[in-house]
Chain A
Amino acid sequence: MTDVEETTTTLPLERKCPFSPPPEYERLRTESPISRVGLPSGQTAWALTRLDDIREMLSSPHFSSDRQNPSFPMMVARQIRREDKPFRPSLIAMDPPEHSRARRDVVGEFTVKRMKALQPRIQQIVDEHIDALLAGPRPADLVQALSLPVPSLVICELLGVPYADHEFFQTCSSKMLSREVTVEERMTAFEQLESYLDELVTKKEADATEDDLLGRQILKQREAGDADHGELVGLAFLLLIAGHETTANMISLGTVTLLENPDQLAKIKADPGKTLAAIEELLRVFTIAETATSRFATADVEIGGTLIRAGEGVVGLSNAGNHDPDGFENPDTFDIERGARHHVAFGFGVHQCLGQNLARLELQIVFDTLFRRVPGIRIAVPVDELPFKHDSTIYGLHALPVTW
Chain B
Amino acid sequence: MKIIADTGKCVGAGQCVLTDPDLFDQSEDDGTVIVLNAEPEGDEAEENARTAVHICPGQALSLA
Contacts and interface: CB of A to CB of B under 8 A. Distances in A.
Taking residues whose C-beta sits less than 8 angstroms from the other chain, chain A's interface range is: 20 to 34
Nearest to B14: A112
Nearest to A280: B18
Contact of A104 (B21, B30, B54): B30
A342 B19 CA distance: 11
Given A341-B51, A341-B55, A352 B28 contact: no
B57 A110 contact: no
B5 interface: no
Contacts of A349: 11, 57-58
A103 interface: yes
Given A353-B13, A356-B13, A357-B14, A107 B30 contact: yes
Nearest to A114: B28
A350 interface: yes
A404 B12 CA distance: 41
Interface in A342-373: 342, 346-354, 356-357, 360
Contacts of A353: 13
Contact of B11 (A105, A114, A352, A360): A352
A362 to B, nearest CB: 15
A246 interface: no
B53 to A, nearest CB: 11
Contact of A350 (B11, B15, B51): B11
B30 to A, nearest CB: 5
A171 interface: no
A59 interface: yes
Nearest to B19: A341
A341 B15 contact: yes
Contacts of A82: none
B31 A111 contact: yes
A340 to B, nearest CB: 10
A110 B11 contact: no
A108 B55 contact: no
A342 B54 contact: yes
Contacts of A113: 17, 25-26, 28
Interface in B3-60: 11-15, 17-19, 21, 25-32, 51, 54-55, 57-59
Contact of B27 (A103, A105, A108, A360): A108
B12 A104 contact: yes
Contact of B31 (A104, A348, A352): A104
A59 B58 CA distance: 7
Nearest to A111: B26
Nearest to B17: A112
Given A103-B12, A341-B19, A110 B58 contact: no
Interface in A57-74: 59
A102 to B, nearest CB: 12
A108 B29 contact: yes
Given A59-B59, A349-B57, A112 B18 contact: yes
A374 to B, nearest CB: 28
Given A111-B31, A112-B18, A347-B57, A352 B13 contact: yes
A110 B12 contact: yes
Centre residue among A105, A111, A350, A354 by max chain B CB count within 10 A: A111
A110 B14 contact: yes
Contacts of A341: 15, 18-19, 51, 55
A19 B9 CA distance: 36
A349 B55 CA distance: 10
B57 A348 contact: yes
B31 A108 contact: yes
Centre residue among B12, B13, B18, B26 by max chain A CB count within 10 A: B13
Contacts of A112: 14, 17-18, 21, 26
Contacts of B59: 59
Interface of B: 11-15, 17-19, 21, 25-32, 51, 54-55, 57-59
Given A108-B27, A112-B21, 4 more contacts: A108-B28, A112-B26, A113-B26, A342-B55
15 contacts: A59-B58, A59-B59, A104-B30, A107-B12, A108-B26, A108-B29, A111-B17, A112-B17, A113-B25, A341-B51, A342-B54, A346-B13, A346-B57, A349-B58, A360-B18
Q: Which 7 A-B pairs have the closest CB atoms?
A: A107-B12, A352-B57, A107-B31, A111-B26, A112-B17, A112-B14, A104-B30
